[in-house]
Chains A and B, each alone.
Chain A
């Protein structure tokens, strides 16, 4: 398997693809009908890395995230997680991988508004056959970590945007995923709330050793990550961070 990891044909010098990367896209193409969304996307994300993905609207960021997460399969190219081709797995095995190894945070609409904060956070554990009592114990342990202490019994439909996103983060992290995928997780929040939410996301992911791929338009959110790549016209390029004397 390891010999497969050396890149024999790199279509263009993209961000470094290393042997230690946990997640890789290699020359990924994906179209929707006549619209090409990805055209040779190349990316490697290291284990435990916190990566921000930026780029103009319509450039292919969400499509890339969905391909990396095994939600979309590429038309061409490879997606590897932990050295294994996930684009070649059966639908059932990919769904299982997503459930056990990946967590997701989106801009809106992943919480069930009629259920309480604790119910929402415990949900993925209950679906994963964790016993009820244990699931709630683990869910409630997340409340304080994310500054949600005392809100466990509140319906999520009654939370502020920033509180709801913190619940979504807890819900995504409670099953201890290897990778957390976030698409505009702060897209509906004001700048300062975004930064608080992102800070919590980064610090908890770091404490858990979770790799994070976060798509964002917000530079303050990207500044909380460790590295930023740009997607343009369906391709990924590294953003070199020069240090310039002030």
Chain B
């Protein structure tokens, strides 16, 4: 799973939308679900949380007894929650290689008990629209245009197949991401 393109701030916000957490828990869940080939350095966890706090999307709890930054618990604010919701609901641009972003959305939607199938449908819709445009370009286009349109169409088609396969496995995935 490629993680390039998955927004770290949005993913951390999404994890916080589940429940208030320490930086350590966030890193652990991020690495387990979103950073399998590229774990998130602690430094980036705290710098991201710092920026989210500055922007009013999370609040930082009082330090608990002990040392280090991990003594603080972070909670999402209403503004943060709104941001997560609009990110989940908005389909990603139908470009090739968006699996990583889509996968992150699906996992988070399931963690948060949202309707993941609805988000997948939104993505299907925007993919189909793009495919319709490319099909139009292809129709009566010069060979180069046809070939370029085909490249896009085949990639979008692969995405859609992956979306179908993901939808078929939503309940298994829901089991997997559920907190014990």
Chain A residues in contact with chain B, CB under 8 A?
Answer: 56, 191, 195, 199, 219-220, 222-224, 228, 230, 232, 237, 239-246
Contact = CB atoms under 8 A, between A and B. Distances in A.
B90 A244 contact: yes
Nearest to A52: B128
22 contacts: A56-B167, A191-B157, A219-B160, A222-B128, A223-B132, A223-B135, A223-B153, A224-B135, A228-B125, A228-B128, A230-B121, A239-B128, A240-B125, A241-B128, A241-B129, A242-B91, A242-B126, A242-B129, A244-B91, A244-B92, A244-B126, A245-B93
Interface string B92-112: 111100000000000000000
Given A219-B157, A219-B160, A244-B93, A239 B135 contact: no
Nearest to B139: A199
Interface of B: 90-95, 117, 121-122, 124-129, 131-132, 134-135, 139, 153-154, 156-157, 160-161, 164, 167-168
A244 B126 CA distance: 7
- Classify the secondary structure of B's interface with A: helix
Contact of A220 (B121, B131, B164, B168): B131
A223 B131 contact: yes
B58 to A, nearest CB: 27
Q: Which 7 A-B pairs have the closest CB atoms?
A: A223-B131, A241-B129, A241-B125, A242-B126, A219-B160, A246-B93, A223-B135
Contacts of B154: 191
